[in-house]
Amino acid sequence: GRDELDATLRGAAAAGATVIVASHELERAGALASRVVEVVGGQVRELER
């Protein structure tokens, strides 16, 4: 489930891998990411680093 996926993504990032995730759940994505980007109307807008 989600917990296993989150653990896998965190492990890959901790090992130095670049991990890209597309999600509609911005809060969850933000908890997993060091950088979050939002796409609005086809335009990319950076939210946070």
Report pLDDT digits (tens) over 16-47: 999 998 998 888 888 888 888 888 899 998 77
Please tell me what DSSP assigns to residue 16: T
CB atoms within 10 A of CB 38: 12
pLDDT of residue 49: 67
**In Å, how far from its chain's centre is CA 30?**
6
pLDDT of residue 13: 92
CA distance 35 to 18: 11
Of the CA atoms within 13 Å of residue 47, those in its CB half-sphere come to: 12
